[in-house]
Structure formats: C-alpha cells, structure tokens
Structure 1
C-alpha cells in the first residue's frame, strides 16, 4: 500500500538533489524537469515496495539515468534522420483569415467548437460525432447549428456557406 506522507517526505528531502543531479547529467533545465517528474511518478507507482528499499534515492537516480539515456537514444535517431533528410521546411505564419477564424472559434462554447472541428476538419458525420462525444445526434446537430450561426455573427462580411444535405442530416 502506498503511504502518501512518507512519499511526500521522501520527495521533499530528495527533489533538490535530484534536479541538480539531473542537470549535471542532461544539461538542459527544461528536460531535467520532465525527467525528474517522470522519475518521481515511477517512484510513486512503486512506493509500496520502494519505501522499504535500502536506498530509494539511488533507485531514483538509476531511473533518472535510464530516462536520460532513452532521451539521448531518441535524439540520436532524430539527428540521423535530419542528417539524411535535412531540416524540415519552415512553417509559415498563419494567414489573417486563420487568425480571425480562430479568434471567433474561441468565443464559442467548447462543445460547439469540438462539434464544428470534428464535422468540418475531420469530415465526421453527425452520428460519429455523437458517439465520440457521448451525446445524442440531435444535440450535435444543435451544436453545429448554433455554432455556425454564432460564427456568422462573429465573422462580419463572411457569407454563410450553402448547407449541404450532410450538414442538416
């Protein structure tokens, strides 16, 4: 059984040393934060047995070292790919239309945004959206209708597109 107070004490007494150790091994503070978090998450999952380990901090250092080695292996693979293919093309900034549309979408309730994105970006039919969102198909139709109506109001000068049979079905 996990004992939260003893784990909390273990974390408080070791976390600074683990961050310093990780930084010495990896050399990147952001990466170290991820590695330390993952190492403590693994320690928590095994705390029932790790609490009785003769050197739980040493166990944690081994986990950190393995996580760092895994990171380096992944990076080495990426470097190999980049050396063969070259760096990816630069991504151009979003166009004005995209910025305006995203700003308008952010003003919609989340359920309407999700329904619109699934329907128009993923070409999902209403029934599939309803299944994924775990709501009746009529609710999805309502969200789509209300979302489109609100977008028309938020995007002046943009005509409402002709509704296809699939949009209403």
Structure 2
C-alpha cells in the first residue's frame, strides 16, 4: 500500500472505524484513541495490510485489543488509586439520551456477544468474516448473535425494531 493509498484509506475509514469501536467499548474518547493508535501501528506495516482479512479488519482488531489492554491496565490502576488516594475522578458532561440508551443496552451483553453483534450488524460483516476476525467458529458466532438479539430486544423501542 503506497503512502497515498494509506492516506486515502485513513480518510475513508477512520470515522467509521471509530464509530464501530465506540459501540464495542461504550467510550467515544477511548475508541478515538485506540483507532488512532491502530492506524499508527498500521503505518509501519502498510505494505502487508491487504493480506489476511484486509486493512479495516486489521485496524478494528488491533483497536479492540488495545482497548481491552487499556481496560485491564485502568482497572489495576484505579484499584491502586483507591487504595492510596482520596481524590475523586473528574466529571464528564453527560451524553445524549439515545446514546445512553444504546450503550446501556449493549452493556447488557457479554463482551463477546457485544463484539460479535457490532461486527455483524454495524460493520456489516458476514458470519464467516466475524468468525475469522474474532477467532471463534461460525457456529459460535451464530449462537452469540442469537443471544445478543434476545438480550437486546427488551431494550429497543418499537421504532428501532422497524415497527
């Protein structure tokens, strides 16, 4: 992938990838950070990006792994902070109600169900592509999709069901 192709790829897909990772993580700033970091890492291997599942899948997978690593690190850090400090975290402005409802509904899912559902329904990947990106079997992907739909159904309004 040439420099120009990479720049075009970034311009075309960065916003979409941030949106996808945001739905997986529930944190817009975190999604922006990890997608940006994934693009930085991709720059060094841009000649190999079209092998395997393609550049968007590579960026999304790296961003997801970075987010998981940060969650783990933050959890350990927060626990240490609570043990050694009386300081409180700073407040952040509230997101709009629709965003809160969507993120709340997605948080009802297990981590794997949420990731599989986002990859299939938001990223528009086939079951086979989701299986390849997550490293789980197609049958397991279908099971997680079914369970995710069942878990989300009570949280979605009639408009979101297309009624």
Q: TM-score range by the shorter chain?
A: 0.3 to 0.5
Q: Which has the larger radius of gyration?
A: 1
Give TM-score scaled by structure 2 length: 0.48
Q: With CA pairs under 8 Å and 6+ residues apart, which has the higher RCO, 1 or 2?
A: 2
